[in-house]
Amino acid sequence: MDSEPRSSETSPRRSAGDVAGHIDHTLLRAEATREQVLRVCEEAKGHGFGAVCLNGRWVSPAADRLQGTSVQVVAVASFPLGADTTAAKVAQTKDLIHAGADEIDMVADLAAIIEGDDRYLLRQLQAVLETCRSMKPAVLLKVIIESAALTTDQKIFACRACEQVGVDFIKTSTGLHPAGGATIEDVRLIRATAPRCKVKASGGIRTAQQALAMLEAGAERIGTSSGVQIMQELSEQVQP
């Protein structure tokens, strides 16, 4: 369950355009169609979202549709379980980048986190990061730790591994785990534990109030399939 966000009265005043730039407009349903994917791309362009976040199947058509715009294409890797081998994650990452992905959101190996297997986790994160860094230009790597499914100690372990390797972002959740999605407390914990990594809050963020609260807590990106509704809410809030 998402923690209760602060009221919008205590959140910093942000313009709709500023919030839009932090949104990764997301469509990760397995049954999503080409028409729906392209609609998400058009919504991202129209609202000025920072990125679209898609399954690998749709990276190439999305990259074609968004060519020449400022909207980035984010592809998920080892999604949603994170249990693929390192070789498989590296191969998938290469494939996604060659298809047109500007950023990779990869699910971490949760067993390694839960067992405290830093050797396995660090080697895997490093291998995928090196793949992203080897590209011209370099591709951002966000690592999904599925924070709602972890204890505090496990979250800290995962965040420290991500920071040690030097990944760009730590992402809270896939949005598909039964344990839940992003919470304000987890965003703050990630920021405090891995200050050199940015934070992407994702999972269960459906309202403007939630999005503003996550940004206030320190998130740099908001992963949500409710971006259009959030923008509508923000626009209504500034109406006289």
Q: Which of 105, 109, 168, 186 is catalytic?
A: 105
SS (HEC) of the chain? CCCCCCCCCCCCCCCHHHHHCCEEEEECCCCCCHHHHHHHHHHHHHHCCCEEEECHHHHHHHHHHHCCCCCEEEEEECCCCCCCCHHHHHHHHHHHHHHCCCEEEEECCHHHHHHCCHHHHHHHHHHHHHHHHCCCCCCEEEEECCHHHCCHHHHHHHHHHHHHHCCCEEECCCCCCCCCCCCHHHHHHHHHHCCCCEEEEECCCCCHHHHHHHHHHCCCEEEECCHHHHHHHHHHHCCC
Annotated catalytic residue 94: no
The reply to whether 102 belongs to the active site is no
State how far the Cα of 13 lies from the Cα of 27, in Å rounded to an integer: 28
Q: Active site includes 18?
A: no
Cα 93–206–238 angle (5° rounding)?
Answer: 120
Instruction: Say which of 155, 171, 186, 198 is annotated catalytic.
Output: 171
Q: Are 167 and 125 in contact (CB under 8 A)?
A: yes
Contact 147, 186 (CB under 8 A): yes
Tell me the catalytic residues.
Answer: 105, 171, 200
